Amino acid sequence: MGMKTDTYTKNETGLITTRVDAMINWARKNSLWPLPFGTACCAIEFMSVVSSPFDISRFGAELVRFSPRQADLLLVAGTINYKLAPVLKRIYDQMPEPKYVISMGACASSGGFYDNYATVQGIEQIVPVDVFIPGCPPRPEAILDALLKIQKRIDREPSPKRGVDRRHELAEKPADE
Amino acid sequence: MANSEQQKHDSLVERVSARLGARVLETDRSYGDLVFVVEKAAVHEVLSYLKNDEKFDLLLDIAGVDCVKLPEYRERFELEYILYATGKDHRVRVRVPVPEFALDVPTATDLWRAANWAEREAHEMFGFVFTGHPCLKRLITHQQFEGHPLRKDYPVMQGQWCATTSSLEEELEE
């Protein structure tokens, strides 16, 4: 009897057979390289997620990069003002596909309590966001939860095609949760 | 207020009124600080006296005030220079009423280099024009921003989109 799961089958010879999609998604979701775009206290909370008590490396996303060209998970942690908006957009544009965005905390998601002439009222106006995390700042567990949601999403992604954003196809598929 | 503080205030008021006379319109106390109310035309003379003769060697800040919603005021705007004498441990403020349609004020950058950024901030937030300032550009808001956000008639929640990043090289060269 072989072992059968959703994504692969293991037979008596010890070989694993799977689909290319599933394998690539599996590899991809377990090695996200986050770029922390930290502008406020949320970034401090992210530091604690990376450190040993919470240890984001259990989910394969511990390799923090500060170059957008080496990262595929943009983590916007903090207040974004109008002066910074073109910078954030440019950093997002420089990241190679496929790329994901987490909007962490009240400020990044909605401007927080900074409802004034200087602060962008939510980064969704600048870059497409995959997961919003509420909180001011959010608990580290909430960041791990967001990461798991991104991973779940990657698992369902259609056949990857380099350089082409196909997430609109995903939107047509029903979510499995 | 401590007695020595009071003496410092009194002796400064005496010297200033002996030296500058009618150029100081009014002397006031506010939260323990001495305030000289000065006409716009005399502001540079008063500041330069306070710096060179009274050794107020530190310009702590320049604050702008939009008085339009206050019950009574001299002119629509006020500039407030906050000075500090490190040798005497003495703080003083110079208040300058600025009319709404004559926003030009002589710069203080020749007295304190710290005035450079403080004046740029007052310029963008209230629209004061500091004549003689070496680089009177916006400091905090972005370069495409229009209007003066700390004026009472600016809708405070109205943001303005910035589409381009700007180079800071020009400022590094100063």
| Domain-wise residue ranges, chain B | 2-166
Read off the pLDDT of each residue in A66-86 and give the average, rounded to a whole number. Answer: 92
Furthest C-alpha separation in chain A: 66
Residue B44 contacts residue B110 (beta carbons within 8 Å)? no
pLDDT at B62: 94
Q: Is A84 helix (H, G, I), strand (E, B) or coil?
A: coil
Residue A107 contacts residue A79 (beta carbons within 8 Å)? yes
Residue B86 burial (10 A CB sphere; 0-12, 13-18, 19+): exposed
Residue A17 reports pLDDT greater than 90: no
- Homologous superfamily, domain B2-166: NADH:ubiquinone oxidoreductase Nqo5 subunit (3.30.460.80)
Q: What phi, psi does A89 have (nearest 5°)?
A: -60, -40
Give the chain A residue whose CA is nearest to the CA of B146.
Answer: A117
Residue A6 reports pLDDT greater than 80: no
Class level of CATH domain A31-154? alpha beta
Residue A76 burial (10 A CB sphere; 0-12, 13-18, 19+): buried
A85, A116, A121 member nearest B162 (Cβ)? A85
Q: What is the pTM of this model?
A: 0.81
The reply to whether A170 touches chain B by the CB within 8 Å rule is no
A101: tokens are 């965005």
| Domain-wise residue ranges, chain A | 31-154
Tokens 């490396």 correspond to what residue? A57
Residue B74 contacts residue B97 (beta carbons within 8 Å)? yes
Residue B12, CB-side half-sphere exposure with 13 Å CA sphere: 30
Q: How confident is the model at residue A159 (pLDDT cuts 50, 70, 90)?
A: low
Residue A177 reports pLDDT greater than 50: no
Q: Which of A80, A83, A88, A126 to mutate to test the interface with B (most CBs of B within 10 A)?
A: A83
CB atoms within 10 A of CB A136: 13
Residues in chain B where the model's pLDDT stays below 70: 1-2, 173-174
d(C-alpha A35, C-alpha A91), whole Å: 10
Higher pLDDT: A57 or A11? It is A57
CB atoms within 10 A of CB A146: 21
Contact A90 B165 (CB under 8 A): yes
In the chain, the amino acid numbered B25 is L
Q: In what order do the strands lie in the sheet with A73-77?
A: A34-38, A73-77, A100-104, A131-133
Which residues of chain B does A82 touch, with a Cβ-Cβ cutoff of 8 Å? 141-142, 145, 159-162
pLDDT at A24: 85
Higher pLDDT: A157 or A153? It is A153
Q: Write out the H or E segment, with its range, that includes residue A3.
A: strand A3-4
Residue B139 contacts residue B120 (beta carbons within 8 Å)? yes
A122 closest CA partner among A175, A63, A176, A82: A82
Q: Write out the H or E segment, with its range, that includes residue B46.
A: helix B43-52
In the chain, the amino acid numbered A71 is A
Question: How close does chain A come to B164, measured CA to CA in Å?
Answer: 6
In the chain, the amino acid numbered B16 is V
Residue B26 contacts residue B34 (beta carbons within 8 Å)? no
pLDDT at A147: 94
**pLDDT (tens digit, 9 = 90+) per residue, A100-147?**
999 999 999 999 899 999 999 999 999 999 999 999 999 999 999 999
DSSP string, B87-144: TTTEEEEEEEEE-TT--EEE--TTT-TTHHHHHHHHHHHH--EEET-S----SSS-TT
Which residues of chain A does B162 touch, with a Cβ-Cβ cutoff of 8 Å? 82-83, 85-86
